[in-house]
Amino acid sequence: MKPMFNRILFGGDYNPNQWPQDIWQEDMAMFEKAHINSATINVFSWAQIQPSENQYDFSELDQIVALLSKEKKEIVLATATGALPAWMFKTYPEVGRTDYQGRHHKFGQRHNACPNSLVYQKYAAALAGKLAERYGDNPNVICWHINNEYQGDCYCDNCEKAFRVWLKDKYQTIDALNKAWNMSFWGHTVYEWDEIVLPNALSEGIGQDKTAFAGISIDYRRFSSDSLLENFKMERAAIRQFDPSTPVTTNLMGTFKGLDYFKWAKEMDIVSWDNYPAYNTPWSLVSMTHDLMRGLKQQPFMLMEQTPSQQNWQPYNSLKKPGQMRAQSYQTIAHGADTIQFFQLRRSIGACEKFHGAVIEHVGHENTRVFRETADLGKELSQLSEIMGTENHGKTALLFDWDNYWALEYTSGPTIDLTYVDQIHHYYRYFYDRNIPVDMVSEMDDLTGYDLVVAPVLYMVKAGVSERLTTFVEKGGTLVTTYMSGIVDQSDNVHLGGYPGPLRELAGIWVEEIDALAPEQVNQVRINDHLSGSSYLVSDIIHLEGAEALAHYTSNFYAGMPAVTKHAYGKGTVFYFGTRLDTASFDHIMNDVKETAGIEPILAEQTALEITRRQSESHDYYFLINFQSAPQTLPARFAGKVDLLSGMTLEDKQQLPQYSTYIIKEERHL
Ligand code: GLA
Ligand code: ZN
């Protein structure tokens, strides 16, 4: 597709307003040395540009914009609404949030606005509009960055009123709402809309994360995501009054639970996100998260933030080792990014982020490892713009759905160890290890074009989903689904008639009971009558209704019953995992899945390298990255090819050290 920008944006969050002006000049000189061509500004400057209710002061921002424009930097201009100014709290305490415990917050921190406060909305929209009016036609302003990492909930009276309006719109009648939430349970029937209260610690909440009425709490999650999305749309509309065309984004946070990003992405011109893995985050999970962010629009995205070296907010903030930042940057590009931006360009002197890494460190000069690595990467990226707009295509789709995420984690029973992202990642890992490209898709996405659809813990099956999956299988597709699937509808009420509800006929099984296995409990299984394995987490007790068993339990009172099944349906096949298997057993069955679906890896050879492919209409770009601590041998397939980054020819059996990265460009012969 046509790229959104003219070159790979390389830069990041820049806060000159925290520094005296002589430092700005030093910054410009150092940016030049580091090949930095872009700066994201004004992210948290509301207090500077609106010092009081009726007073705006753009003089400093004017200077910053003028300086960056003179230096020919592309500007990502934030609307500064991610942190409220103190005067607003003082005059209008309602702009603050009321938390889950019911405490109304005072001025402090950031991401602190009640999304349903009309005062906040008025001032946020006014500010976005003024910025667009002032800077929207500056050709250097190439992207709008609305707010920052939208997140968090509010349980104030304004939100409660707004929740009732949202519910009225959704359910129309109080009877429909009572039915949806199954309110005859514990005598919860309501008769008037104003009897409905927000589900927090003072009402339905059980502990921090559980609830007595998942139906209410899931609707609150949807409402909360929608409330913030309305804030985003409101600022976007204010911008569009003055600037009809500059792309608008907001920085997302990967698998962050609070917002339904598939819904959000529809409102964004380009997806951007902030990638902050911990020192021990599996590379497969980072890869999956990039694929998810690409999958929101199935288009290239922006890496709005990563640290060049270190974070401050993890429990252990390890340095990125030499070469690691480069490798991670190329991993990001390999999975679909068209920009590499950092938080932050200069390290702040005070408050909680002074230990957060930056391109320019506290020492203030460029003779640092981090600066050198940044500059080297910047130089490489300045010659790689041909990669922009190229696409990632897979034949395997992995379903990710925020409603499902919320519902699965709210549900009371059968085990507290069922967490959504971990479950999805468990399936993704198989493909990652084999260099099989995966597209992360929503339940609502079109499945045409895929050969394999993997739908783990498809707990909530909303209207239309089972029909879509059935059509996919009937036409010859292969579907994988698992325990805790087909259980409830969109309101968290059970699909009656036996698990897995609407998927029962498709899977050709009936799950009579679901056992929970505590961490110290393991079941034994036998796979295809020759391999012994172990099973964890949950054990479905399965009756075959047309499917065949691929594995049986060999322990517990359900020994002899199926643990994994395979069902021919229409022209396709459905695999069902009734339990979580050890890796070897799981991979063994997944090999069957892969062969049944006819899925091909990018590279047939076994390798521990991460190999990803982006494609233009005429060319393939193979990204080879070694994330293993031990050196890896170059796959024979790439021997004699030229690395696009270094211009070097790769040699047969060449040893690739940790974090080494190569891009091989090949013409595609159709
Ligand atoms: C987030 C924020 C940034 C900064 C970084 C630190 O991504 O958007 O403002 O706080 O975290 O890692
Ligand atoms: Zn509120």
In this prediction, residue 477 carries a pLDDT of 98
Q: Answer for the pair 311, 317: CB distance below 8 angstroms, yes or no.
A: yes
Can you tell me the distance from the alpha carbon of 281 to that of 480, in angstroms, rounded to the nearest whole number?
Answer: 26
* Strand ranges for 232-289 from DSSP E: 248-249, 251-252, 272-274
Residue 274 beta carbon below 6 angstroms from any ligand 1 atom: yes
Cβ contacts of 484 within 8 Å, gap of 6 or more: 408, 418, 457, 459, 514, 538
Ligand 2 centroid to Cα of residue 114, in Å, is: 4
Residue 500: is the preceding peptide bond cis (ω within 30°)? yes
Q: What is the pLDDT of residues 285-315, one digit of tens each?
A: 999 999 999 999 999 999 999 999 999 999 9
Can you tell me the distance from the alpha carbon of 441 to that of 448, in angstroms, rounded to the nearest whole number?
Answer: 12
Q: Answer for the pair 261, 149: CB distance below 8 angstroms, yes or no.
A: no
Q: What is the pLDDT of residues 516-562, one digit of tens each?
A: 999 999 999 999 878 999 999 999 999 999 999 999 999 999 999 99
- The ligand that comes nearest to the alpha carbon of residue 102 is 2
Half-sphere exposure of 643 (CA within 13 A, CB side): 17
* Eight-state DSSP code of residue 559: T
Ligand 1 atom with the shortest distance to the CA of 307: 12
Q: What is the pLDDT of residues 201-248, one digit of tens each?
A: 999 999 989 999 999 999 999 999 999 999 999 999 999 999 999 999
In this prediction, residue 529 carries a pLDDT of 74
Q: What is the pLDDT of residues 107-131, one digit of tens each?
A: 999 999 999 999 999 999 999 999 9
By alpha-carbon position, which residue is closest to atom 4 of ligand 1?
343
- The ligand that comes nearest to the alpha carbon of residue 307 is 1
- The environment of the single-atom ion ligand 2, i.e. residues with CB closer than 5 A, is 114, 116, 154, 156, 158-159
pLDDT exceeds 90 at position 615: yes
Ligand 1 atom with the shortest distance to the CA of 43: 9
In this prediction, residue 528 carries a pLDDT of 86
Share the mean pLDDT of the chain. 97
* Eight-state DSSP code of residue 483: S
pLDDT exceeds 80 at position 670: no
Which domains can be identified in the chain, with CATH numbers? 11-41+270-390 (3.20.20.80), 80-140+147-249+262-267 (3.20.20.80), 396-597 (3.40.50.880), 610-667 (2.60.40.1180)
Q: What is the mean pLDDT of residues 446-469?
A: 97
Parallel, antiparallel or unpaired: strands 301-305 and 337-342: parallel
Long-range contacts of 118-124 (CB under 8 A, 24+ apart): 118/158, 119/88, 119/92, 119/94, 119/95, 120/84, 120/88, 120/95, 121/231, 121/234, 123/50, 123/88, 124/79, 124/81, 124/231, 124/234, 124/235
* Per annotation, catalytic residue among 74, 94, 235, 305: 305
Ligand 1 atom with the shortest distance to the CA of 305: 7
The yes-or-no answer on residue 149 being catalytic is yes
In this prediction, residue 530 carries a pLDDT of 84
Per 3-state DSSP, the chain is made up of helix, strand and coil in percentages (nearest 5) of 30, 20, 45
Q: Answer for the pair 579, 617: CB distance below 8 angstroms, yes or no.
A: no
Residue 356 beta carbon below 6 angstroms from any ligand 1 atom: yes
Q: Please, which pLDDT band fits residue 669 given cuts at 50, 70 and 90?
A: confident
By alpha-carbon position, which residue is closest to atom 3 of ligand 1?
343
Q: Please, which pLDDT band fits residue 259 given cuts at 50, 70 and 90?
A: very high
Share of residues in the chain with pLDDT > 90 (%)? 99
Can you tell me the distance from the alpha carbon of 418 to that of 21, in angstroms, rounded to the nearest whole number?
Answer: 52
pLDDT exceeds 90 at position 90: yes
Q: What is the mean pLDDT of residues 556-571?
A: 98
* Eight-state DSSP code of residue 643: B
Residue 276 beta carbon below 6 angstroms from any ligand 1 atom: yes
Q: How many Å from the N-terminal Cα to the C-terminal Cα in the chain?
A: 19
Helix, strand, or coil here: 344? coil
Q: What is the pLDDT of residues 160-176, one digit of tens each?
A: 999 999 999 999 999 99
**Which ranges of 92-156 does DSSP label H, i.e. alpha helix?**
118-135
